[in-house]
Amino acid sequence: MSDNKIGTPLVEITGLSKWYGDFSALYDINLTVSSGEKVVVCGPSGSGKSTMIRCINQLEEHQVGTIFVDGREVKPGMKNIEEVRRDVGMVFQSFNLFPHLSVVDNLTIGPMRNKGISKAEATEIAMHFLERVHIAEQADKYPPQLSGGQQQRVAIARALCLKPKIMLFDEPTSALDPEMIAGVLDIMIELAEDGMTMICVTHEMGFARKVADRIVFMDEGEIVEVAEPETFFNNPSTDRSKLFLSQLLGH
């Protein structure tokens, strides 16, 4: 638990529902994340964790409910969604670095295109963040030449280059070899300590205990339980979260 000051609401999700065809993927989601807050989302596979955080930057379009990001409503088909996305950094499970661009170009392309800043200036910003994720010496390599852990750190730096107000992580360590996981988690912990607002979908319970202000437990497209980490892990209040935790710790 961090005792960073928690400020105004940054993401406000109200009555959010989403269907894929007839399949109800999300139902009546309500969640507010304030600036400086760190929220960990967990739940069984297919429970809608990814779908929920992807609605925040409209990689998925919702059908019912409202989402506000830093006071602006985001909705399907809106103009200027790009402006919202620049405030919302996202890190994917499969890294999704641009394979045809060098590491440093992966980082500079966003600031250069979005803010129209010069290549030199963008490179300076990029090198700053590459140093922060301890990978500056790989700047001129291409993504396929890096290990999974290194790629994910580059992906985090790429998102940070836009100076986002909030970071979304969608299972950032589940595609990594075990020995790579710690390096990525360390970066995320450092980010949290610096006061970044974060929503992390992850099953890394050590990370959750250390960093999260709240745990959001989802099942079958609904938020079943919201609790502080200690409460959630030691004394879950629903049968579904008990079952989930026992399965998670079972192996």
Partner 1 sequence: MNRNTPPPSKLKKRLTVVDFLLYGAVALFIFYAVYRVNDVLVYHWNWSKVLGFLVKFDDESEAWVSNLLLQGLWTTLRLALWATVLATVFGIVMGYWRTCKNLTLRIISRTYVELIRNMPPVVFIFIFYFFVSSQIFPALGIEDIDSEGAFASSAMFHFMFGDPQLFSNFLAGMLCLALFEGAYITEIVRAGIQSTEKGQWEAARAIGLSPFNVLRDIVIPQAVRKILPPLAGQFITLIKDSAIISLISIQELTFVATEVAATTTRVFETWILVGFMYFILCYSFALLFAHLERRAKRSQR
Ligand X SMILES: Nc1ncnc2c1ncn2[C@@H]1O[C@H](COP(=O)(O)OP(=O)(O)OP(=O)(O)O)[C@@H](O)[C@H]1O
Residues 131 to 160: which contact partner 1 by CB under 8 A?
142, 155, 158-159
Q: Are 152 and 184 in contact (CB under 8 A)?
A: yes
Q: Backbone phi, then psi, for 193, in 5-degree steps? A: -65, -30
Residue 57 contact partner, candidates ligand X, partner 1, Mg ion, none, CB within 5 to 8 A by sort of partner: partner 1
Verify binding: residue 240, ligand X, rule CB under 6 A: no
Verify binding: residue 45, ligand X, rule CB under 6 A: yes
Verify binding: residue 172, ligand X, rule CB under 6 A: no
Q: Are 33 and 9 in contact (CB under 8 A)?
A: yes
Q: Are 18 and 60 in contact (CB under 8 A)?
A: yes
Q: How far is the CB of 43 from ligand X (least distance, A)?
A: 6
Verify binding: residue 58, ligand X, rule CB under 6 A: no
Q: Are 215 and 198 in contact (CB under 8 A)?
A: no
3-state secondary structure at position 99: coil
Q: Are 220 and 201 in contact (CB under 8 A)?
A: no
Verify binding: residue 235, ligand X, rule CB under 6 A: no
- Interface residue with partner 1 among 4, 24, 109, 245 (CB under 8 A) is 109
Q: How far is the CB of 113 from partner 1 (least distance, A)?
A: 5
**Number of Cβ within a 10 Å radius of residue 215:** 23
Residue 171: name the closest of 40, 62, 13 by CA.
Answer: 40
Going through the chain in order, the beta strands assigned E by DSSP cover 9-20, 23-34, 38-42, 64-69, 72-74, 88-91, 166-170, 197-201, 214-219, 222-227
Q: Of all helices (H) and strands (E), which one includes residue 241?
A: helix 239-250
Q: Are 45 and 101 in contact (CB under 8 A)?
A: no
Q: Which is nearer to partner 1, 68 or 142 (CB)?
A: 142
Q: How far is the CB of 250 from ligand X (least distance, A)?
A: 17
Binding site for Mg ion (CB under 5 A): 50
Verify binding: residue 49, ligand X, rule CB under 6 A: yes
- Stretch near partner 1 under the rule CB under 8 A, chosen from 18-26, 107-115, 118-126, 235-243: 107-115
Binding mask 12-41 for ligand X (x = CB under 6 A): --------x--x-x----------------
User: Residues in the site for ligand X, rule: CB under 6 A?
Assistant: 20, 23, 25, 43, 45-51
User: Residues in the site for partner 1, rule: CB under 8 A?
Assistant: 57, 59, 82-83, 85-86, 88-90, 92, 94, 96-100, 109-110, 113-114, 142, 155, 158-159, 162
